[in-house]
Amino acid sequence: MATHSTLRNDLAERAKNITRRELQRYAESTKGSQAATARARKVMPMGVPSSFQYYDPHPIVVRSAQAAWMEDVDGNRYVDYDMGFGALFAGHMNPHVRAAIEEQLGHGTLYVTPCESNTEVAELLVQRYGLPMWRFTNSGTEATMDAIRVARGVTGREKIVKVEGGYHGHHDEVMISMKPALDLAGPADAPVGVPATAGITAAVLGDTVVVPYNDADALERALAANDVAAFIVEPVMENIGICLPQPGYLEAVREITRRHGTMLIFDEVKTGITAGWDGATGVLGVQPDLVCLAKSIGGGLPIGAFGGTRECMDEITTGRVLHLGTYNGNPLVMAAARAVPAPCAREVRRDR
Amino acid sequence: MIPAHTVQFGAKGCVTWTVDPVRNYRDYKTADADLAFAQWIHGINRGILLPPGLDEQWLISVMHTEEEALRYANVFEEFVDELTA
């Protein structure tokens, strides 16, 4: 009878053989992508516009997408299950979204003065998330950056806490312990913050405390001194596959953060409408102080948003916290955001 | 037994290459990256476009037909059959 380790070795050997054969096949079928990447490398680091878009042996280079399909420069067709890292719950060029974009193109793409669709989209987010005030950004990164600034403003505190392995965009204070090497990361129940990139200052590193996900006791210890502005967390972690909260964890997080005067920020950039009409917040039934959205609310156009309690968002109303951005709430993106819910609602509304 | 299981939340799901559910980052670090890569490269050569590696999820959009949604499952089954033959 084979032992456990023998079986694992057999699987590893077969996986190695499959990989060897398939790499050869990939090289032969994606020669156009390979050439395009080689050309791109001369003018862009790694040949890609975002380092997330590079993967070995080389990325496929895409020329078109429609509905659930993408086609690369070699003419290979793929069913897309990546869907823009989850941004395309409405699908590639959903007809509702496309019609809205085309209609808006006839009326301009950038006003830098408000349009009525700003309010319409914000009103929809109020209904869906139960938070009374919203602002728009251009990405999830901006949404988490601004939400953290609001939390610091309302609490008058500087430190934040994040989860080890959590991704909240690419601004300095959350690019810590995204995927740390374990030999640098310290003990599992009290992780050490590890910069994910060069360029993070010691001051920023010192202001970001890292805790394990699904460990309410560790959060309690991190907040004990009542000096933490915000705990930012994905209610369902989606940077390490999908990591579900253990029963009672998010409820404990809510109670602990409230007791210590720490703002609870739910990063729903990746969950959002893919989780349900009212996001993971509604599905899991725990209400944070601030919610960050992006990706799927824009139907494939760049958008972010953050919403909060009146106490939090009054920081912006009073001007104590500045929230700015030339392209925030631009009418083209708003047209798409206004069009996304209709084709999605039938799939995600629990009350339908 | 293959060290893998699936996790789903809403319209997203993933294959996690561990025997036991992942509760945090340290659990995630025990996943088998070689099996994950073998499955990814096997899939992309058969028209299944997924993010490579261990991090991301599949998303079934409102525009995937049932046949398109199931295509990944069928190709994954082919992979597992070869892996365990």
Looking at domain A104-348, which CATH architecture does it have? Answer: 3-Layer(aba) Sandwich (3.40)
Touching check for B24 and chain A: CB below 8 Å?
yes
Are the beta carbons of B51 and A78 separated by less than 8 Å? no
Q: What is the pLDDT of residue A7?
A: 64
d(CA A280, CA B10): 9
**Catalytic residue check, A78:** no
| Distance from the B80 Cα atom to the nearest Cα atom in chain A, whole angstroms | 10
d(CA A41, CA A51): 12
Query: Residue B66's closest chain A neighbor by CA?
Result: A68
All residues of chain A having their beta carbon less than 8 Å from the beta carbon of residue B60 are 81
Q: Is A83:B56 a contact under the CB 8 Å cutoff?
A: no
Query: Which of A11, A22, A343 is opposite residue B62, by nearest beta carbon?
Result: A343
Q: What is the pLDDT of residue B85?
A: 87
Which residue in the list A207, A267, A278, A289 is annotated as catalytic?
Answer: A267
Tokens of residue A296, six digits: 């799927």
Which residue in the list A167, A172, A207, A249 is annotated as catalytic?
Answer: A167
Are the beta carbons of B63 and A90 separated by less than 8 Å? yes
Q: Is A294:A84 a contact under the CB 8 Å cutoff?
A: no
- Burial tier of A219 (Cβ tally within 10 Å: 0-12, 13-18, 19+): buried
Question: Digits of tens for pLDDT over chain A (352 positions)?
Answer: 455 666 678 899 999 999 999 999 999 999 999 999 999 999 999 999 999 999 999 999 999 999 999 999 999 999 999 999 999 999 999 999 999 999 999 999 999 999 999 999 999 999 999 999 999 999 999 999 999 999 999 999 999 999 999 999 999 999 999 999 999 999 999 999 999 999 999 999 999 999 999 999 999 999 999 999 999 999 999 989 999 999 999 999 999 999 999 999 999 999 999 999 999 999 999 999 999 999 999 999 999 999 999 999 999 999 999 999 999 999 999 999 999 999 998 777 654 3
Residue pLDDT, tens place only, B43-76? 999 999 998 878 889 999 999 999 998 999 999 9
Neighbours of A332 (CB within 10 A): 20
Which residues, other chains included, contact A161 with Cβ-Cβ below 8 Å and sequence gap of 6+?
Answer: A208, A209, A210, A211, A219, A222, A223, A228, A230, A231, A232, A262
d(CA A125, CA A297): 10
d(CA A175, CA A58): 25
All residues of chain A having their beta carbon less than 8 Å from the beta carbon of residue B52 are 55-56
Query: Which of B14, B60, B63 is opposite residue A242, by nearest beta carbon?
Result: B14
d(CA A4, CA A210): 35
| Distance from the B18 Cα atom to the nearest Cα atom in chain A, whole angstroms | 11
All residues of chain A having their beta carbon less than 8 Å from the beta carbon of residue B1 are 7
Are the beta carbons of B25 and A23 separated by less than 8 Å? no
d(CA A245, CA A243): 7
| Distance from the B37 Cα atom to the nearest Cα atom in chain A, whole angstroms | 7
Which residues, other chains included, contact A24 with Cβ-Cβ below 8 Å and sequence gap of 6+?
Answer: none
Are the beta carbons of B25 and A212 separated by less than 8 Å? yes
All residues of chain A having their beta carbon less than 8 Å from the beta carbon of residue B85 are 14
- HSE on the CB side for B36, CA within 13 Å? 24
Are the beta carbons of B42 and A238 separated by less than 8 Å? no
Touching check for B42 and chain A: CB below 8 Å?
yes
Neighbours of B26 (CB within 10 A): 18
DSSP A20: H
Give strand ranges (E) for A268-352: 290-294, 304-308
Q: Is B36:B27 a contact under the CB 8 Å cutoff?
A: no
| Integer angstrom CA distances of residue A53 from A61, A71, B52 | 10, 16, 10
Reported ipTM = 0.97
- HSE on the CB side for B17, CA within 13 Å? 21
Domains with residue ranges and CATH for chain B: 5-84 (3.90.1150.10)
Touching check for B33 and chain A: CB below 8 Å?
no
SS3 A133: strand
Are the beta carbons of B23 and A88 separated by less than 8 Å? no
Q: What is the pLDDT of residue A1?
A: 46
DSSP A67: B
Are the beta carbons of B11 and A242 separated by less than 8 Å? no
pLDDT at B14 over 80: yes
**Catalytic residue check, A81:** no
CA angle A148, A135, A91 (to 5 degrees): 100
Mean pLDDT computed over every residue of chain B: 94
Q: What is the pLDDT of residue A352?
A: 39
Query: Which of B11, B42, B85 is opposite residue A89, by nearest beta carbon?
Result: B11
Of the candidates A308, A299, A310, A303, which has an alpha carbon nearest to the alpha carbon of residue A325? A303
The domain locations on chain A are 4-60, 104-348
Tokens of residue A248, six digits: 């009672």
**Catalytic residue check, A267:** yes
Residue type, A267: D
